[in-house]
Chain A
């Protein structure tokens, strides 16, 4: 299995632009999570899905952030418009059962200038 695949690995964009981060979970996993990591705030859960349905989006910082999971093999996290404070590493992770934790992707380092 190729693991959780995220793209792009790095993204540099100008303030105000739309950014879309992509994630392909491990085949068969039914839960998908988006996390953001910064030095100041550590690892924060933004949103998670069970069976493609959003369960908890309370971590989404504001309306500029949106996430979709149109099918079991693909999810996107979109920021529109982007701001410099959105600069962070964004991780996607997937899981099948609770006791085995998550498998993380390699993350997308987003820099908004």
Chain B
């Protein structure tokens, strides 16, 4: 069965600094999708970035980028130039084909001024 693990329950970063959130997963599939979702206090789940497993190039979205290591089954999220608005819960998620999204337990990110 596929699993997603986020080993950092909480992280903190100074405004304008860079922070990396970790995620590992387990699967026997070769073609799948990985996602990072942000959940601010408003509780809305917001898609931050996605990665297709067959693409070797790491995805980037403005200040957000990933380090995708397929062999190691690792999918970390890097947030550059952190802003106060980045404070939220961040969830890593895995999806195979049209199947369900499997979420990790989340990492709470605090941003200090």
Measuring CB to CB, which residues of chain A are less than 8 angstroms from any residue of chain B?
31, 33, 42-43, 45, 48, 50, 56, 89, 91, 93, 95, 97-104, 106-107, 109
Measuring CB to CB, which residues of chain B are less than 8 angstroms from any residue of chain A?
33, 35, 37, 42-47, 50, 52, 91, 93, 95-106
Count, A-B residue pairs, CB within 8 A: 53
Our pick among A33, A101, A106 for the contact of B50 (Cβ within 8 Å) is A101
State the CA gap A98–B102 with chains docked (Å): 13
- B47 and A101 form a contact (CB under 8 A): yes
Q: B102 contacts which chain A residues (CB < 8 A)?
A: 45
Our pick among B37, B97, B103, B105 for the contact of A98 (Cβ within 8 Å) is B97
- A101 and B98 form a contact (CB under 8 A): no
State the CA gap A78–B45 with chains docked (Å): 22
Task: Output the nearest chain B residue to A91 by Cβ-Cβ distance.
Answer: B45
How far in angstroms is the closest Cβ of chain A from B59?
11
